[in-house]
C-alpha cells in the first residue's frame, strides 16, 4: 500500500491530473452520457476520457450504468463518495471563475451538436 504524508497528497493522487477534476465537475451537475461528457470536453481524447472514467469508477467516485432501450447507452454519475467532493469541486469552480474575471480570461462556448 502506498504511503502518504499529507491528506492533499492522497486527494491529488486520486483526483489529480488535467481531466479527472473536469470530469467530476461535469458529473457534479448531474448524470451524463459518455457522448455528453465528450462534447463538454473537446480537448480530451476518447481514449483518455475512457481511461479516466474507468479509474474514477475503480476508485469509487463514479458510477457507470448501462441503459437498455431502443438506443442502448451508458450513463455516468457521482457515487456517494463522489458526492462528498461536491463542495471542493464548487470551490474550485468559484476560484476559477474569479481568477478568469480578474485576469480578463474568457471561456469558449461549448460546441452544440
Q: What is the pLDDT of residue 69?
A: 84
Residue 105 counted as domain residue: no
CATH number of the domain encompassing residue 61: 1.10.10.10
- Tell me the average pLDDT across 35-50: 95
Residue 2 counted as domain residue: no
Structurally, how many domains does the chain consist of? 1
Residue 110 counted as domain residue: no
Owning domain of residue 60: 7-97
Residue 104 counted as domain residue: no
Residue 34 counted as domain residue: yes
pLDDT in tens, 46-96: 999 999 999 999 999 999 999 888 888 999 999 999 999 999 999 999 999
Residue 111's pLDDT band (cuts 50, 70, 90): low
- Tell me the average pLDDT across 3-7: 94
- Tell me the average pLDDT across 89-113: 88
Non-local CB neighbours of 39 within 8 Å, separated by 6+ positions? 110, 111, 113
pLDDT in tens, 74-84: 999 999 999 99
Amino acid at each position: 500500500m502506498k504511503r502518504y504524508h499529507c491528506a492533499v497528497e492522497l486527494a491529488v493522487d486520486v483526483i489529480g491530473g488535467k481531466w479527472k477534476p473536469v470530469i467530476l465537475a461535469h458529473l457534479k451537475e448531474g448524470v451524463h452520457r459518455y457522448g455528453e461528457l465528450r462534447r463538454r470536453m473537446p480537448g480530451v481524447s476518447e481514449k483518455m476520457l475512457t481511461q479516466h472514467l474507468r479509474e474514477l469508477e475503480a476508485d469509487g467516485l463514479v458510477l457507470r450504468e448501462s441503459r437498455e432501450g431502443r438506443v442502448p447507452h451508458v450513463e455516468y454519475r457521482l457515487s456517494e463518495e463522489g458526492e462528498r467532493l461536491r463542495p471542493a469541486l464548487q470551490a474550485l469552480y468559484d476560484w476559477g471563475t474569479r481568477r478568469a474575471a480578474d485576469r480578463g480570461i474568457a471561456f469558449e462556448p461549448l460546441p452544440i451538436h
